Structure 1
Amino acid sequence: MNFEAVKSIYLFEMARMRRTLMQSVISPVLTTSLYFVVFGAAIGSRIEQIDGVSYGAFITPGLIMLSLLTQCISNGSIGIYFPKFTGTIYEILSSPIAMAEILLGYVGAAASKGLIIGLIILATASFFVDISIAHPVMMLVFLVLTAVTFSLAGFIVGIWAKNFEQLNIMPMLVVPPLTFLGGTFYSVEMLSPFWQAVSHLNPVLYLVSGFRWSFYEIADVNPLISLGMIALFLVVCLALVAWIFRTGYRLRN
């Protein structure tokens, strides 16, 4: 393992976060803070508790997950797309660096950025609502697994995308609707049986439910099933990346 190569790619990508603090950190934190003000304070004051938890506290795990998914996919896709766009990807591919090392550098940086944003939002949420974490270890497990998995998904999107429009399809048009419909602002038990069945087809439901369980021990889905869904998606992403590296799909041509 060429750790120097992994370190170089990782630090280069992390430097991008320092250069774009407004876009990378301040913007998602401010956006999520507005959610807390509007939904947690204004609307939450008119809604009864959900499963014994105040509404503002109830939506906190979902809002963290929304930002985490968006940031990980965006950072993962942009990190590999720009070398393709500028042509420097050929220098990386021709250097004595294994594909696994390239993957570790880019995906590790994207996941780190997402985790930083997620933890900042968690700290920010404590100023708006009372938060308790029943299972801090499981909370970190869900957080790290989700960050790595969706950074991998972003990496795949960055390789697949031919232009900036395609690059923004996942973080802007796919993730937000799935997150909003995945129990971020409500419990699926409030829905009719038909819509409950439909909601269980949404993979984001399992992420939000499992993450919320680590906070308050309440969940729409068994947390072990949630972990299994994340693991399944991680395996699928790794298989896709392995196929891309083996075939050179949109990397060598």
Structure 2
Amino acid sequence: MNWRAVRTIFAHEMARFWRTPWESLASPVVSTVLYFVVFGAAIGGRIESVEGISYGAFIVPGLIMLTVLQQSISNASFGIFFPKFVGTMYEILAAPISFFEIVLGYVGAAALKSIIIAAVIYLTALFFVDLPIQHPFWAAGFLVLTAFSFSLFGFLMGIWAKDWQQLQFIPMMVVTPLVFLGGAFYSASMLPPFWQDVAKLNPVLYLVSGFRWAFFGQADVPVAASLVAVAVFLGLGMAAVWFIFRTGWRLRN
């Protein structure tokens, strides 16, 4: 394992993160405050609690998961797309490092950025609601695995994209709607029986449900199913990355 190469890629990506503190850290804080104003105050005034949990606290895990998915995909996709765009990707491929080391550097940095932002959102939420975590170990595990899994998908999207428009298409048109329809701001049990079954076809529901269970001990789907969903996301992402570097798809042409 060429740890020097991994550290170099990782440090380069993290340096870009710290060079833009407003976009990296202040924006999630502002967004969190706005979500609490809109959802916590406006809707929370009509819905006092969901399954015995104050609505303001109930939406926090979904809000964190929404941000983690968006940031993981965005950071990882930009990180690998930019070398393709400026033509330095060939230097990376020609360097004496394996595809695993390349992926570990880019994806590890993207996942860490998302985890830092998630922590900032959690600390911001504490100013508005009382938010204990019943299962901190499982919360950290869900957060890390989800961030890493979707950073892998962002890495894949950065390789797939041919221009900046394609780079923004999937986060805006696919991921964000899936999160909003995946119980981020409501419980699936609030839906009619038919729509509860439809909601269970949304894979993001399992991520949000598992993460919310770590906070409150309540979930829309079994926790085991959430763990399986995270494992499937991680396995599919790793398999796809291995295939791309094995074949050179959209890397060497």
TM-score of the alignment, normalized to the shorter chain, above 0.5? yes
Amino acid at match of 2:21: L
After TM superposition, the structure 1 stretch with the greater mean CA deviation from structure 2, 17-26 or 100-109, is 17-26
1:104-132 deviation per Cα after TM superposition (whole angstroms, max 9, x unaligned): 00000000000000011011100011101
Which whole-Å CA distance do the structure 1 matches of 2:43 and 2:191 have between them? 19
1:212 aligns with 212
Which whole-Å CA distance do the structure 1 matches of 2:215 and 2:18 have between them? 30
Shift of 1:172: 1.7
Which whole-Å CA distance do the structure 2 matches of 1:23 and 1:180 have between them? 23
2:120 aligns with 120
Aligned residues: 253
1:94 aligns with 94
1:8 aligns with 8
Which whole-Å CA distance do the structure 2 matches of 1:25 and 1:48 have between them? 30
The secondary structure found in structure 2 opposite 1:168 is helix
1:73-112 deviation per Cα after TM superposition (whole angstroms, max 9, x unaligned): 0001000000000000001100111111000000000000
- Which structure 2 residue ranges, 5 or more long, are not aligned? none
Amino acid at match of 2:162: K
- Which structure 1 residue ranges, 5 or more long, are not aligned? none
Q: Pairwise mapping of residues 1-253 of structure 1 onto structure 2 (< 5 A)? A: 1-253=1-253
The secondary structure found in structure 2 opposite 1:130 is coil
After TM superposition, the structure 1 stretch with the greater mean CA deviation from structure 2, 187-196 or 39-48, is 39-48
Shift of 1:239: 0.6
The secondary structure found in structure 1 opposite 2:45 is helix
Shift of 1:194: 1.3
Superposed structure 1 runs of 4+ greater than 6 Å apart: none
TM-score (norm 1): 0.98
Shift of 1:187: 0.8
Which whole-Å CA distance do the structure 1 matches of 2:171 and 2:33 have between them? 19
The secondary structure found in structure 2 opposite 1:133 is coil
> What RMSD, in angstroms, separates the aligned Cα atoms of the two structures?
0.8
After TM superposition, the structure 1 stretch with the greater mean CA deviation from structure 2, 186-195 or 143-152, is 186-195
8 Å Cα contact 1:111/1:151 also seen in 2 = yes
Which whole-Å CA distance do the structure 2 matches of 1:190 and 1:122 have between them? 25
8 Å Cα contact 1:73/1:170 also seen in 2 = no
Which whole-Å CA distance do the structure 1 matches of 2:192 and 2:38 have between them? 26
Which whole-Å CA distance do the structure 2 matches of 1:110 and 1:197 have between them? 33
After TM superposition, the structure 1 stretch with the greater mean CA deviation from structure 2, 128-137 or 43-52, is 43-52
1:116-158 deviation per Cα after TM superposition (whole angstroms, max 9, x unaligned): 0001101110001110100000000000000000000000000
- Indicate the percent of aligned positions where both proteins have the same amino acid: 62
